[in-house]
Chain A
Amino acid sequence: MIKQIENPLLEIHDLTVSYDQSPVLWNIDFSLPEGKLIGILGPNGAGKSTLIKAIMGLVEPTGGYVKIFNKDLDQVRNRISYVPQRESVDWNFPASVLDVVMMGTYGRLGLFKRPGKKEKDLAFNCLEKVGMTAFAKRQISELSGGQQQRVFIARALAQEADLYLMDEPFAGVDMATETAIFQLLQEMTKEGKTVIVVHHDIHSAMTYFEWIIMLNLHLVASGPKSDVVNEDLLRKTYGGKLNLLSKVTEIIRQQEFNPLKN
């Protein structure tokens, strides 16, 4: 079930990506609407992160193309924002929380120019949105996993983009923070921004995302939540593992309790 869109915000055509001759994404073809909170679901190794990286031009596709705002990536870079996986950087780097959030403004500043008061105010504004103002001067090595994640989201906000791509922003984040971040993302989509999130937890995905992409090397589904969430497609995405998953989700629904997060 793949629903295509007229005048899409993001269009991916026949995209194939391979590492060392072995393909990790096969013939991905979908288009996405503007102003939606979009989730990418799939099991480990399904190519979710690779898809995000291919959209951002960080991995070279073997075939196919990506169009954003109906243009090539290079023409629209300053309208796109990226939240990489938390583990992708060394948090021992000598920088404060504010330093890292300011990095989000570098793209608009351009080469050689230094960030000034305007950029600093913007950074503080973004820190406030993720509830991290009190930590502005804190060394990033002294943050917890959830706080690191919020710093990365604040940095992405400082890019002032129209399209946000987030790679597992909820990994290692507690329930309260997850809810707060999801609310922030929902506010952003109300302002017309588009947010694409790689996500693990099916249960919260059902609650928050409006549009869902299901991926397992091939594209299984892409469409509004109500159209694509059914047992058949979930089984196709997660294969045999779905039995376990559906049992777990069932328990969670009954008890309103998530043992993995508490």
Chain B
Amino acid sequence: MITFDQNAFLIISTASLIAISCGLLGVFMMLRKMSMTGDAISHAVLPGIVIGYFISGSQRGVEVIVGAGLLGILATLIIDFLRKKAKVQLDASIGITFTLLFAIGIILINLLAYKVDLDQECVLYGEIAYLPIDLWITDSGFSMGPRIIWLALLNLLLVGSFIFLLFKELKLTSFDEGFGMVMGIPAGAINLALMSMVSYTTVSSFDAVGAILVVALLVVPPATAFLWTKDIKSLIKLTIGIGIGISVLGYYLAFWADSSIAGMMVTVGGAVFLISAVLTSKKFKFRLGTQSNQEAFNS
């Protein structure tokens, strides 16, 4: 007999919504060779979260999102400055920037510990299993269901329309930034807008899935999809498919093994990538057509 498990449904659909938002942004981060900038941003937003939390007195305030967004942009600007003006290599400038900002965040948490109910563990790991009991209750006392699923829905809506509206510009500036600038496309502004969306997505998702899973969802599904296809639209579709697949499989494996859901999702993502890498490596390429594999993979 099949029963409908409401908690499973809520957790899987929230994780899927977050996975889709991250995947959409992650595709362009990867094409810009900036996947690790996403990692940096997801950690660098911590001071912004703490300051926002301190000002608003709540983990749910708009101030938290604004603070995190500003810190994300600041991180991007510092990385850019170190790379272009101070001539530090990209990987080194990312390492310097996000560890510094994350450390400042930890110090702020300690300094404000008596005012802020927040610790770095919850930012890093999150806890998606508590999602069904964290409800959004309206002023009239009516329960709208889990709060985080609404946040994830709003996030996907904004990320989706951002990518849809600026698809042409994002594609061009990812491929050939100089050419876009010559045509008068504001490449710098588009880059900052993308980084702001990554910051916002990170902070919108952190108390559900944590910064580590956000990084995994930004990097792993696009990188896996890129092994299978060389067309940008199928790349996006496949990324979304893989993100949802990771959420479903990760949840049930965690349920079966009685383990961390976010941890299992990342593990599944890593496994899917490794299997894809082996299957698409040259050794196998002439035996298996990539096209039929891709279809099989999607279904």
Tell me if chain B binds chain A.
Answer: yes
Binding site for B on A (CB under 8 A): 53, 56-58, 74, 77-78, 80, 82, 84, 88-90, 92-96, 99-100, 103, 106-107, 109, 111-115, 139, 141, 155, 159
Residues of B within 8 A of A90 (CB): 33, 175
Q: Are B178 and A58 in contact (CB under 8 A)?
A: yes
Nearest chain A residue, comparing its CB with the CB of B183: A107
Interface of chain B residues 75 through 125 with chain A (CB within 8 A): none
Question: Could you give 27 example pairs across A and B, Cβ below 8 Å?
Answer: A58-B178, A77-B184, A78-B183, A78-B184, A82-B178, A88-B176, A88-B178, A93-B31, A93-B174, A93-B175, A94-B31, A94-B229, A94-B230, A95-B175, A95-B232, A99-B171, A106-B168, A106-B183, A107-B184, A109-B168, A111-B166, A111-B169, A112-B166, A114-B167, A114-B168, A141-B230, A155-B179
Instruction: Say if the beta carbon of B1 comes within 8 Å of chain A.
Output: no
Q: Shortest distance in angstroms between A202's beta carbon and chain B's nearest beta carbon? A: 28
Residues of A within 8 A of B169 (CB): 106, 111
Q: Shortest distance in angstroms between B203's beta carbon and chain A's nearest beta carbon? A: 27
Q: Are A56 and B182 in contact (CB under 8 A)?
A: yes
Residues of B within 8 A of A96 (CB): 231
Q: Which of A53, A56, A58, A103 has the most CB of B within 10 A?
A: A103
Q: Which of B31, B176, B183, B230 has the most CB of A within 10 A?
A: B183
Q: Which 6 A-B pairs have the closest CB atoms?
A: A107-B183, A77-B184, A82-B182, A94-B232, A94-B230, A93-B175
Q: Are B184 and A94 in contact (CB under 8 A)?
A: no
Q: Are A57 and B174 in contact (CB under 8 A)?
A: no
On whether A84 and B176 interact (CB within 8 A), knowing A74-B184, A77-B183, A107-B185, the answer reads yes
Nearest chain A residue, comparing its CB with the CB of B184: A77
Q: Are A94 and B181 in contact (CB under 8 A)?
A: no
Binding site for A on B (CB under 8 A): 31, 33, 165-169, 171-172, 174-176, 178-185, 226, 229-232, 235
Residues of B within 8 A of A88 (CB): 176, 178
Q: Are A100 and B185 in contact (CB under 8 A)?
A: no
Residues of A within 8 A of B165 (CB): 112
- CA distance in complex: A58, B177 (Å): 10
Residues of B within 8 A of A74 (CB): 184
- CA distance in complex: A113, B169 (Å): 10
- CA distance in complex: A32, B174 (Å): 33
Q: Are A58 and B175 in contact (CB under 8 A)?
A: no
Q: Are B231 and A94 in contact (CB under 8 A)?
A: yes
Residues of B within 8 A of A95 (CB): 171, 175, 231-232
Residues of A within 8 A of B172 (CB): 103, 106
- CA distance in complex: A113, B226 (Å): 27
Instruction: A58-B181, A90-B33, A94-B31 given; name 10 further pairs at CB < 8 Å.
Output: A58-B178, A77-B183, A88-B178, A96-B231, A103-B172, A107-B184, A111-B169, A111-B185, A113-B168, A155-B179
Nearest chain A residue, comparing its CB with the CB of B186: A111
Nearest chain B residue, comparing its CB with the CB of A89: B176
Nearest chain A residue, comparing its CB with the CB of B229: A94
Q: Shortest distance in angstroms between B195's beta carbon and chain A's nearest beta carbon? A: 19
- CA distance in complex: A96, B33 (Å): 19
On whether A103 and B182 interact (CB within 8 A), knowing A94-B230, A94-B235, the answer reads no
- CA distance in complex: A107, B182 (Å): 9
Residues of B within 8 A of A99 (CB): 171, 232
Q: Shortest distance in angstroms between A59's beta carbon and chain B's nearest beta carbon? A: 10
Q: Shortest distance in angstroms between A69's beta carbon and chain B's nearest beta carbon? A: 15
- CA distance in complex: A165, B174 (Å): 22
Q: Shortest distance in angstroms between B32's beta carbon and chain A's nearest beta carbon? A: 10
Q: Are B175 and A100 in contact (CB under 8 A)?
A: yes
Q: Are B176 and A57 in contact (CB under 8 A)?
A: no
Q: Shortest distance in angstroms between B123's beta carbon and chain A's nearest beta carbon? A: 33
